[in-house]
Amino acid sequence: MPAFHAPLDDIRYLLHDVHDIGQLAALPGFEDATPEMIDEVLSGGARFCEEVLFPLNQSGDAEGVHLANGVVTTPAGFKEAYQRYTADGWTAISAEPTYGGTGLPEMVRFVMEELLCSANLSFSMYPGLSHGAYSALMSHGSAELKQRFLPRLIDGRWGGTMCLTEAHAGTDLGILTTRAVPNADGTYAITGQKIFISAGEHDLTENIVHLVLAKLPDAPSGTKGISLFLVPKFLPTADGGLGARNGVTCGSVEHKMGIKASATCVLDFDQATGWMVGEPHKGMRAMFVMMNGARLAVGLQGLGLSEVAYQNARAYARERLQGRSLTGPKHP
């Protein structure tokens, strides 16, 4: 039976003895982030990962996600786990307090992300993409976009994605064909198709905020002509609620070798309403905030998976009987 135990002793050694996280509390805004408080926070995160997420790992991978009529359903237990995850405040852990975040140091979120990846990598993809969208909006979004979307991303009621890849444009984003046509009200009509979109459609959140790379009609060729747009699954109302369904649908989900409980989607945009993030033709600059965060996240995924793989390999090596004793069979 696979098992996972959060390596808190190793983590505390690194945080306290190697990095001396006590220094953080001396920085402006981190006065409450004492070593004792950080230890308590991470102990709670470890319990959640061990008791709630890890038991869903194998069952979630076996069941996978289900797509029917454009709606993706996550495996049994995932929605309840996500509700507890948001209720405990994990989506807000290092986010800006101005918009409802806890404002803890990024170091705390990094450790929690490692634990998530060890316990249930499929689950970790959903809040991981949302945090990336939060970071890009925080860095390049207008004051209005921040006010409308960041509080919902931070409290976990809305999710996020990054929509870059197209069937013909993977590493060469300069040849993407998704188009953004200006509307009279200052929004844009987004049309095109994106593939390999992690958390592109699911039932964990009431809304999904897609960050989409597209080109304006007068865009220069290549990557210098790419702009970034915020395209929600449901258009927000003036009071922050959910309005009409936007023109974005899930056409299919990828069939993968692993992390099958993470919905990797093909998304079709058909005159979907979007708002520009940052400046025209400067979309790559804005999206790289999310992309660079994703690169760090992939490193944390490797670290988390290595930890749980080591734990289970060690346990198996200790219990497995192999070969025969020189003095004769002991277990005939």
Which contacts of 138-143 are long-range, i.e. CB under 8 A and separated by 24 or more positions? 138/96, 139/286, 139/289, 140/228, 140/277, 140/278, 140/285, 140/286, 140/289, 141/230, 141/277, 141/278, 142/275, 142/277
Q: What's the pLDDT at 182?
A: 98
Residue 332 has pLDDT above 80, yes or no: no
* Phi and psi at residue 271, to the nearest 5°: 55, 35
Q: What is the CA radius of gyration of the chain?
A: 22
Instruction: Give percent of the chain with pLDDT exceeding 90.
Output: 92
Residue-wise pLDDT for 88-100, tens only, equals 999 999 999 999 9
Q: Which CATH class is domain 8-313?
A: mainly beta
Residue-wise pLDDT for 225-271, tens only, equals 999 999 999 999 988 889 999 999 999 999 999 999 999 999 999 99
**What are the residue ranges of helices labelled H in 49-95?**
57-63, 78-87
DSSP string across 13-60: IIIIIIS-GGGGGGSTT-TT--HHHHHHHHHHHHHHIIIIIGGGHHHH
Residue-wise pLDDT for 152-172, tens only, equals 999 999 999 999 999 998 788
Average pLDDT over residues 309-328: 90
Q: Which secondary structure element, helix H or strand E, spans residue 234, and what is its range?
A: strand 234-236
Give the domain ranges of the chain. Answer: 8-313
Q: What's the pLDDT at 306?
A: 98
Q: What's the pLDDT at 325?
A: 83
Q: What's the pLDDT at 171?
A: 81
Residue 322 has pLDDT above 90, yes or no: no
Q: What's the pLDDT at 170?
A: 78
pTM, two decimals, is 0.94
Nearest residue to 245 (alpha-carbon basis) of 282, 213, 208, 217: 208
CA distance 91 to 108: 12
